[in-house]
Structure 1
Amino acid sequence: MTEQTILKICVFTTAAFAILGVCWGLYAGSGMVLFDGIYSTISLLLSLVSLLVLKQIQSANEDMRFPFGKAHFEPLIILFKSLIVIGVCLFSSIDAVLVVLEGGRNVAIESALIYAIISTIGCFIIFMFLLIKNRSIGSKLLNAEKNQWFGDTVLSVGVLAGFSVSLLLRDSQYSQLIPYADPVMVVIASCLFILMPMKTLLAAGKEILYYQVSDDQLQPIDDEASTIAKQLNAQYKLRMVSIGREVNIELNFLMSKGLLSIAEMDAIRNRISQAAEQLNEQHWVNVNFTACKTWL
């Protein structure tokens, strides 16, 4: 199953949950269920954007508008998705706090409970589907999608637990607390959802800023570059960044003496490319040779 097919499945499933959540939330009068539906609607729009971006990234046609490729599209869309999720959560939490201050909200508990059961089971199935499928693909877009569905699962479990407690409290001495259960759950869920996209936000931000890759990624290339430098009796400088699904490598050698033929230079480039392939099949390698330290 291809990455695009998996994303299409996510789009159709998210659309179903979005319609179900919004309609059920309005019917039951539950801000929590409505928040789930709105979140699913936002997720649907973001999944469609991801699908369009993926088609651009995977396009074999060279686009001269982007002479250095389209790998940077991926961290950009992940950054955008993370910011949108954080914004929705902030807005929802503020709205829920206002509801609490106004005395809470009455909800059709049985109806909301049925929705929570359906949502919990459905979200968990899609989350596990993405988790299993992405093990062989290793896509950052699918990973971001998986995190969204994990968030949906956690949210649904929280809704299920919250409305179950509300049902138990209905005929007890604490029944006056029930109107506060729904908005309080929205606040808790929103706070959790804000934390979840932070990791992908920071990772995507590092890639956009051309932040140095981790030592584990750098080490194999640096070892090969060091070996070549010793063979050439040269100094070297290695620059390496990860952008989306592509690794970019620039390696400059400062030659002390002697000239290399074109064939010898290409052989060195092949050695670096082969080392890079062990890290990532998609890579951009630029190896330069100079006798002037300015160009190092």
Structure 2
Amino acid sequence: MNREKTEKFGLNLSIFVTLFMSALGIGFGVSIQSEAILLDGFFNVVGFLMALITLGVSWLQKQPENEYFNFGYSSFIPLVNLIKGLLISLLSLFALTSAITAILHGGRNLNANVAVIYALIAATGCLVTALIQKRIAKKTRSIMIEVDAKNWLINGLISLSVGAAFTIIIFIKNTTLSWFIPYADSTLVIIIVLITIPVPIKVIIDSLKQLLLASPSVKTKKEIKQLFETATHSFHLEKYWLRMTQIGNTIFVSIYWLLPPEYNLNGVEDLDHIREEVSQVIHQNYPDLIIDIIFTKDSKWAEDISLQKKQTLS
């Protein structure tokens, strides 16, 4: 329950800060005609809308499975992250096109002093929020909060870049470089987009992998395998086949356990005991993991099932 409250606090925090940053960015951007600041503001508008949806999905994934969703609602998490990544990418491409067009038409002038004030306020708010969300993500292991923390970091870096660029504009105003001032805002937008676009693209790729039931990261797979081997060192195990996929925060693991031919089974209770011991060890590091262990003495049966499982998840 404490974990759920912490995650909900992170989502609510994101909603309120995003709403404030959206109003701040659009207000300043319109008043001084800055595309860079408007881009920052619209990033936050997207973030605000997605934060509302994420809050709803956070509640939904805690609901019990039903006839139509036998495995619960975990798949909604990568779906939301995919939409968020696509929206930010499309917004970035739109801003890039607009900035290039502005440069080709002579650029535009703006009030750099006011822009610096905005940048200081926005950068402080975004980076502090990113730090808080990162700590919450580490504590709760929430992928939604983790993605949110990355988005706040992007917004913070954008605001810092805006502040630094407009500070430079103030200093070159009365120099031979003053000709560049009308192009500074659009140039900054292009640089920001090129630097930050890899982040939403990575979110899109990771979300698609989860929706397509791909395996989790190499690091996660390696850690779970090591935990399993540690947990089974005192049990009879001739060979095993391990398959896993990740959907949202939940990792699904299927283990096919080949028992030695000489192993004498006293009862189903023996297998339940093994399953309980192994599950406890892995759950200490991965509390959102769902594990199925299938025991057999027939290696051919295990290999056939493992092959079918592999084809299903590939």
Deviation at 1:41, TM superposition (A): 0.4
Deviation at 1:144, TM superposition (A): 0.8
The answer to whether residue 182 in structure 2 is matched with residue 176 in structure 1 is no
- Contact 2:141–2:249 (CA under 8 A) maintained in structure 1: no
Deviation at 1:26, TM superposition (A): 1.0
**Aligned pair partner of 1:149 in 152, 161, 169:** 152
SS at match of 2:108: coil
Deviation at 1:125, TM superposition (A): 2.1
- Contact 2:65–2:73 (CA under 8 A) maintained in structure 1: no
- Contact 1:246–1:284 (CA under 8 A) maintained in structure 2: yes
Most deviating of 170-179 and 126-135:
126-135
Most deviating of 39-48 and 123-132:
123-132
Most deviating of 201-210 and 35-44:
201-210
Deviation at 1:227, TM superposition (A): 5.4
Q: Which runs of 5+ in 1 are unaligned?
A: none
Superposed, 1:124-143 pairs within 5 Å as 124-143=127-146
Which position in structure 2 is the counterpart of 1:214?
A: 221
Which position in structure 2 is the counterpart of 1:29?
A: 33
Which position in structure 2 is the counterpart of 1:9?
A: 13
The answer to whether residue 283 in structure 2 is matched with residue 277 in structure 1 is yes
The answer to whether residue 165 in structure 2 is matched with residue 159 in structure 1 is no
The answer to whether residue 245 in structure 2 is matched with residue 238 in structure 1 is no
CA distance in 2, matches of 1:187, 1:271: 55
Deviation at 1:16, TM superposition (A): 1.2
Count of equivalent residues: 292
Identity rate, percent: 26
Deviation at 1:42, TM superposition (A): 0.7
Deviation at 1:222, TM superposition (A): 3.8
Superposed, 1:257-272 pairs within 5 Å as 261-272=267-278
CA distance in 2, matches of 1:189, 1:26: 19
Which position in structure 1 is the counterpart of 2:293?
A: 287
Deviation at 1:84, TM superposition (A): 1.9
RMSD of aligned residue pairs (Cα, Å): 2.2
Deviation at 1:173, TM superposition (A): 1.7
CA distance in 2, matches of 1:222, 1:95: 55
Change in Cα spacing, 1:203 to 1:214, as seen in structure 2 (3 Å) is farther
Deviation sequence 1:90-133 (CA, Å, 0-9, x none): 12112111111111111122222221122122222222222333
**What residue identity is the alignment partner of 2:279?**
S
Change in Cα spacing, 1:221 to 1:243, as seen in structure 2 (3 Å) is farther
**What residue identity is the alignment partner of 1:221?**
F
Most deviating of 82-91 and 282-291:
282-291
CA distance in 2, matches of 1:43, 1:176: 35
SS at match of 2:215: coil
CA distance in 1, matches of 2:229, 2:85: 33
Deviation sequence 1:239-277 (CA, Å, 0-9, x none): 123332222111123454655622122122212211221
TM-score (norm 2): 0.85
Which position in structure 2 is the counterpart of 1:112?
A: 115
CA distance in 1, matches of 2:214, 2:225: 14
**What residue identity is the alignment partner of 1:17?**
M
Which position in structure 2 is the counterpart of 1:44?
A: 48
- Contact 1:31–1:186 (CA under 8 A) maintained in structure 2: yes
Change in Cα spacing, 1:24 to 1:141, as seen in structure 2 (3 Å) is same
Q: Which runs of 5+ in 2 are unaligned?
A: 307-314
